Amino acid sequence: MVGRAMVYDLCRQDDVDEVLVADRDAGKAREVAERYGAGKARGRALDVTDREAVGGFIEGSRAALGAVSYRFNQALAEIAIAAGVHWIDLGGNNDVVEAQFALSDRARAAGVAVVPDCGIAPGAVGILAARLLELAPAADSIRLRVGGLPLRPVPPFNYQVVFSVEGLINEYREPAVCLRGGAVVERPSLDDLESVEFPPPFGVLEAFNTSGGASTLPRTFRGLVENLDYKTLRYPGHCELIRALFALGLAGEEPVAVDGVRVAPRRLLERQIAASLSFEGPDAILALAEASGREGVVRLRIIDRHDEATGLSAMARCTAFPATVIAHMLAGGAVEERGTLHQETSIPPALFIDELRRRSIEVVEERS
């Protein structure tokens, strides 16, 4: 879902000559290239675990983007560095991102940039946080709230799978990192439940801790603000249902015996979520970045919906376009820093927001 949106956007930039599209399924790669490539894209089959083949595929490109599982991102970053190509991915796991930052010196020596965590959250929301500190430099707290929601929710979960189920379970299961009282701390995911109100038709939503969304922000902004946290938005009641599933042990990794067959509960849970909650229907992305302090409150708000004209979901657009904007900045020279980059300090916030708006992702500024 996200890869095709990357192809769509890159192929509509006037200074992009060609986009190469790879998937383990050659037919799918060619279909995406033909449908979304505006005559600029070519598709082929590629095994992402074949380092030599991947290196040959990206060699000569200005930038390479990954829309694959986080499990491959460290190796792909290493391949891109060796090929002298900028690497941009969607992140999804704090340990992998940390390993990519350990590659920074190698990337800098190769004259390229590695930028992990380039979706909506982690990703764009961190750049919005940086913009807030430009607008409100005396702020002492930053709140980040982001969620992908179906516009036609179906009870009881009122949720629609719009990205990797594996990544979704990670977000719900691993600890969330935040700033509290100036210290970097971990909080349990699915905890610190609160209510957040958005304009109709969304109304009052729930927000709760999830992992990964803050990425490197708590450490980057330590000493600049006292408090910073990230929470996921859902329709009310969703969090309690997920807590109940986890309380039953259904997120466990250790296989258990069922009728003589050993099954990892998490694999079963992932399969059932994908089977039950992957339905057609329009979606929305809601994002709120808020800075507060003695000078008042500044908010940056995004409400994006499924694009009927292109068939791209809001989640696909808002995950892919931040990555393609950054890739385009690197390829075109708007960002000259090399090594593994923190988006919140390396990507120009105002320019980034302008580029989102140019792609019809509206970022609204509010003050109170």
Instruction: Convert the pLDDT of each residue in 198-232 to its tens digit.
Output: 999 999 999 999 999 999 999 999 999 999 999 99
Note whether 132 and 267 are same-domain residues.
yes
Listing DSSP states for 220-279 in one string gives: HSBTTBSEEEEEEEE-TTHHHHHHHHHHTTTT--S-EEETTEEE-HHHHHHHHHHHHH--
pLDDT at 113: 98
User: Does position 92 have pLDDT exceeding 80, yes or no?
Assistant: no
Whether residue 199 is preceded by a cis peptide bond, meaning omega within 30 degrees of 0, is no
Exposure on the CB side of residue 67, measured as CA atoms within 13 A: 22
Q: What is the pLDDT of residues 264-304, one digit of tens each?
A: 999 999 999 999 998 889 999 999 999 999 989 999 999 99
pLDDT at 130: 98
Q: What is the pLDDT of residues 54-72, one digit of tens each?
A: 999 999 999 999 999 999 9
pLDDT at 124: 97
The rounded mean pLDDT for the chain is 96
pLDDT at 9: 98
Confidence class for position 163, pLDDT limits 50, 70, 90: confident
User: Does position 355 have pLDDT exceeding 80, yes or no?
Assistant: yes
Looking at the chain, the whole-number percentage of residues with pLDDT higher than 70 is 100
More confident residue, 100 or 164: 100
pLDDT at 6: 98
The total domain count for the chain is: 2
Give the mean pLDDT of 331-346: 97
User: Does position 162 have pLDDT exceeding 80, yes or no?
Assistant: no
For residue 23, what are the domain limits? 2-118+321-346
Note whether 192 and 62 are same-domain residues.
no
Note whether 280 and 363 are same-domain residues.
yes
Characterize the bridge pairing of strands 113-115 and 261-263: unpaired
Note whether 132 and 177 are same-domain residues.
yes
User: Does position 336 have pLDDT exceeding 80, yes or no?
Assistant: yes
Note whether 6 and 151 are same-domain residues.
no
Note whether 146 and 247 are same-domain residues.
yes
CATH number for the domain spanning 89: value is 3.40.50.720
pTM of the predicted model, to two decimals? Answer: 0.94
Looking at the chain, the whole-number percentage of residues with pLDDT higher than 90 is 93
Note whether 150 and 87 are same-domain residues.
no
DSSP state of 341: P
Which runs of E-coded beta strand occur in the chain?
19-23, 41-45, 63-66, 86-89, 113-115, 141-150, 176-180, 183-187, 194-198, 203-209, 227-234, 256-258, 261-263, 283-293, 296-305, 339-340, 364-367
Note whether 239 and 353 are same-domain residues.
yes
pLDDT at 164: 80
For residues 347 and 329, the answer to whether their CB atoms sit within 8 Å is yes
Give the mean pLDDT of 63-85: 97
Q: Indicate the helix (H) or strand (E) that contains 355.
A: helix 349-358
Q: What is the pLDDT of residues 226-275, one digit of tens each?
A: 999 999 999 999 999 999 999 999 999 999 999 999 999 999 999 999 99
CATH number for the domain spanning 299: value is 3.30.360.10
Q: What is the pLDDT of residues 121-139, one digit of tens each?
A: 999 999 999 999 999 999 9
pLDDT at 62: 97
Note whether 335 and 271 are same-domain residues.
no
Q: Which residues are CB-contacts of 16 (< 8 A; sequence separation ≥ 6)?
A: 10, 40, 328
Note whether 174 and 191 are same-domain residues.
yes
Note whether 242 and 294 are same-domain residues.
yes
pLDDT at 286: 98
Note whether 274 and 338 are same-domain residues.
no
Helices vs strands, H then E, count in the chain: 14, 17
